Amino acid sequence: MSSLRPESENHSSILIQITNNSNAASNEISSPVQKLLDNFEILGNDSKKAIFQLVMNTNNEVLQCEIIHLQESKMTYQKTLHAKLARELIAFAEKYKISELTFDTKATKP
């Protein structure tokens, strides 16, 4: 398990490193920054937003692609989860005959 914790003070030094490298057109990701990206999901929303904004202001295309990929992965997971929950809700409504939650077969598309 990683030693990184959400909202830890270690993140501020890594954010400073990202900022310091923002003027360099490097296409490399340093080890501490990679470690932070590997643990991106455990960070709080404020930390994620701050990192995303800092990375987008850098000239490091590799780092930018990595952070965008992490954001897209999260959105794909959420869409899948929402679809699964909707299916389960419909099945529950049908099983227990909850009229407020059942699909209206007379509904029309606009």
Per-residue pLDDT reduced to its tens digit, 60-98: 888 889 888 888 887 888 888 888 998 898 888 888 888
pTM: 0.53
State yes or no: pLDDT of 105 exceeds 70: no
Percent of the chain at pLDDT > 70 equals: 67
- Please check whether residue 105 lies inside any domain of the structure: no
Residues in the chain: 110
What residues contact 56, with CB distance under 8 A and at least 6 apart? 64, 67
- Please check whether residue 1 lies inside any domain of the structure: no
Cα angle 35, 36, 42; round to 5:
120
State yes or no: pLDDT of 17 exceeds 80: no
Predicted confidence at residue 7, as pLDDT, reads: 46
Predicted confidence at residue 72, as pLDDT, reads: 84
Number of domains in the chain: 1
Torsion of CA 19, 25, 31, 33, to 10 degrees: 40
- Please check whether residue 4 lies inside any domain of the structure: no
